[in-house]
Amino acid sequence: MLLKSDSRDQEWVRAFFEVMPDLQVRVWPDIGDPSEINCALLWGPPPGLFEGLDSLEVIFSIGAGVDSLLDCPGLPVTVPIIRMVEPELTAGMVEFCLFHVLRFHRLMHRYQHQQTERHWQDLPQVPARETTVGIMGMGVLGTALVKQLHSLDYRVIGYRRQEGGDGTVEMFHGEAQFEAFMRQTTILVLLLPATAQTRHIINQDTLGLLPSGGYLINAGRGELVDEGDLLSALQSGWLQGAALDVFETEPLPQESPLWNHPNVFLTPHVASITHPASACRYIADAIQDYRSGKTWPYQVRLNQGY
């Protein structure tokens, strides 16, 4: 196993040892003979990493998102790429989104300003069932979030490319239903991957479809949102607030006006992280299943915008 990690090399090596004690883990860049390597677990691979990996059979992504992997020059396109799906990563993302949904719905951002000004004024308490949370990106993370939002009685709607869904949530699909989805959404949650189709999917025009006074939570990727358009929508008051974990440029540049906006809450791409212990169990199970004839789980569909 070739490991190029997210700066937690030793934690990953220990986790692999617990789950697959016989596995030889070679930590980038000290990888020995590249032709002996048949699996890789990667986050942000540098150009040149794939050189000489002639026996590579599968690539696991440390992250749920595979955009940085797909952008890496020399990526072997015939080798299966497997997305990370593990319970702690999912739980962390659900917590992050839930926290911000509750913050906005219960107007905590406004009470926070009142506290700064030492002046209280009661604000309306709108029942959760009268607040519509719209989720774009109804995959592993979006679907897990729906369950928790429902348990708190929120009205949840979802948007995807094609018709489908498990029937637990009202779904909108395709370009034709996008406007209807946006017009009904009070709190928009982005859990989409960064692809050619999703770049700047949130812009002046699409923000204009939200009802006035809405909110945005972006935990997907920075590329999804045109930050200039987002700022205009916040400054005009069309959007009342935003919680952003991901940005067009990361780390967020010092000069970005987002830092100082009173109703914008920023975190440095930490909405959720992959936990090595459960991730290694996922990888071990996937390898074992594959060897016994099953297909790889969560394989990236390169030709479908994945």
Active site residues: 221, 269
CB atoms within 10 A of CB 7: 7
The answer to whether 191 and 101 are in contact (CB under 8 A) is: no
Cβ-proximal residue to ligand NDP, closest one: 139
Smallest separation, CB 63 to ligand OXD (Å):
3
Torsion sign over Cα 288, 292, 297, 302: positive
Which one among 63, 142, 158, 241 touches ligand OXD, defined by CB under 6 A?
63
Point out which span in 16-24, 35-43, 58-66, 116-124 binds ligand NDP (CB under 6 A).
58-66
Does residue number 142 form part of the binding site for ligand OXD (CB under 6 A)? no
Q: Which does 295 bind (CB under 5 to 8 A by kind): ligand NDP, ligand OXD, none?
A: none
β-pairing, 155-160 vs 239-244, is unpaired
- Show Cβ contacts of residue 166 under 8 Å, excluding neighbours closer than 6 positions: 143
CB of 14 to ligand OXD, least distance (A): 20
Q: Does 221 bind ligand NDP (CB under 6 A)?
A: yes
Using rule CB under 6 A, residue 187 touches ligand NDP: no
Q: Any idea what the Cα angle at residue 45 is, between residues 161 and 196, rounded to 5°?
A: 25
Q: Does 92 bind ligand OXD (CB under 6 A)?
A: no
Q: Which amino acid is at 92?
A: G
CA distance 95 to 9: 26
45 binds ligand OXD (CB under 6 A): no
Length of the chain: 306
Number of residues that bind ligand NDP (CB under 6 A): 31
The SS3 assignment for 100 reads: helix
| 276 interacts with ligand OXD by CB under 6 A | no
Rounded CA separation 304/70 (Å): 13
Distances, alpha carbon 298 to alpha carbons 39, 59, 161, in Å: 16, 12, 18
In whole angstroms, how close is the CB of 244 to ligand OXD at the nearest point? 13
Tokens of 238: 């069309």
CB of 208 to ligand OXD, least distance (A): 28
Q: Give the shortest CB-275-to-ligand NDP separation in angstroms.
A: 12
Question: Where along the sequence are the contacts to ligand OXD (CB under 6 A)?
Answer: 63-65, 274
Task: Kindly list the residues in this chain that would bind ligand NDP in the complex (CB under 6 A).
Answer: 63-65, 93, 136-142, 159-162, 191-195, 197-198, 219-221, 245-246, 269, 271-272, 305
